[in-house]
């Protein structure tokens, strides 16, 4: 699996609505193209995700100090008109210049309750849950030719955000710095300030919002 390079920025109600109209084709932005995969008439996917996070430690600081991965989670997701699916994931994250670089290992699981029970038997506990309601599209842009940007317009536990991700495959020839610069320019196409990127984890963001 390639390395994921991503940026996320909080949105006002007005900014959220503007991006909504763009991804559904009601507004146009110069230098931006919404990709259509195959013959799908509408490229926007509505996705509901619930993430349950686990740890063996009382605090995240203890876990990180012990070398535990930043993310150990079970994800349940549902796309429109499809049956729900579940995945088990381990993610290791670094942050460079405010942009996340993730190594993610994920596998499909048929019965998430079995994995959950195994974690509990192994002294893990669930310490956090994230609920994401997102609209997902793939985009191309003149800011970096030949690159596909995965955009998610989302409400995460009620908070409005935009997340844009590029998967940097090993044979793509793209340098991480090149992708980071392109992500900032991509965000600015929507009239957003890339300096307002939020490099905190979702756990930090949502617990800070409580």
Residue 40 is predicted with a pLDDT of: 60
Lowest mean pLDDT among 22-26, 153-157, 200-204: 200-204
Average pLDDT over residues 12-18: 97
Q: Kindly report, residue by residue over 46-94, the tens digit of the pLDDT.
A: 999 999 999 999 988 899 899 899 889 999 999 877 889 999 999 887 7
Highest-confidence segment of 12-26, 74-88, 173-187: 12-26
Beta carbons within 10 angstroms of residue 6's beta carbon = 21
Grouping H, G, I as helix, E, B as strand and the rest as coil, residue 100 is strand
Residue 202 is predicted with a pLDDT of: 86
Q: What is the pTM for the complete model shown?
A: 0.78
Residue 53 is predicted with a pLDDT of: 94
Task: List 72's β-bridge partners, or say none.
Answer: 90
Distance CA 140, CA 142 (A): 7
Region of 41 (left: φ > 0; alpha: ψ -120 to 50; beta: rest) is alpha
Question: In degrees, to the nearest 5, what angle opens at C-alpha 128 toward C-alphas 66 and 199?
Answer: 75
Q: What percent of the chain has pLDDT over 70?
A: 90
DSSP state of 196: G
What's the Cα-to-Cα distance from 60 to each of 11, 44, 86, rounded to whole Å? Answer: 27, 35, 24
- Statement: residue 210 has pLDDT above 50: no
- Statement: residue 163 has pLDDT above 60: yes
Q: Kindly report, residue by residue over 31-48, the tens digit of the pLDDT.
A: 999 987 666 656 899 999
* Cβ-Cβ contacts under 8 Å for 121 (sequence gap 6 or more): none
The CATH architecture to which 3-209 belongs is: Beta Barrel (2.40)
Question: What's the pLDDT band for 146 if we cut at 50, 70, 90?
Answer: confident
Residue 74 is predicted with a pLDDT of: 97
Q: Kindly report, residue by residue over 93-118, the tens digit of the pLDDT.
A: 777 776 667 788 999 999 999 999 99
């Amino acid at each position: 699996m390639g390395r994921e390079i991503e940026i996320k920025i909080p949105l006002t109600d007005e900014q959220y609505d503007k991006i909504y109209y763009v991804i559904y084709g009601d507004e146009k932005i110069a230098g931006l193209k919404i990709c259509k995969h195959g013959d799908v008439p509408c490229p926007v996917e509505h996705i509901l995700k619930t993430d349950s996070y686990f740890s063996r430690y009382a605090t995240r600081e203890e876990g990180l100090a012990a070398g535990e991965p930043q993310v150990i989670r079970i994800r349940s997701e549902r796309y429109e008109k499809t049956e729900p699916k579940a995945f088990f994931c381990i993610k290791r994250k670094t942050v460079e210049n405010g942009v996340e670089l993730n190594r993610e290992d994920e596998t499909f699981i048929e019965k998430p309750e079995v994995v959950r029970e195994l974690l509990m038997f192994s002294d893990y506990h669930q310490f956090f849950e994230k609920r994401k309601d997102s609209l997902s599209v793939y985009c191309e842009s003149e800011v970096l030719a030949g690159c596909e940007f995965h955009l998610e317009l989302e409400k995460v536990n009620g908070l409005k955000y935009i997340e844009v991700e590029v998967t940097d495959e090993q044979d793509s020839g793209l340098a991480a710095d090149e992708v980071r610069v392109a992500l900032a320019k991509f965000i600015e196409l929507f009239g957003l300030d890339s300096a307002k990127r939020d490099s905190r984890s979702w756990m930090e963001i949502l617990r800070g919002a409580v």
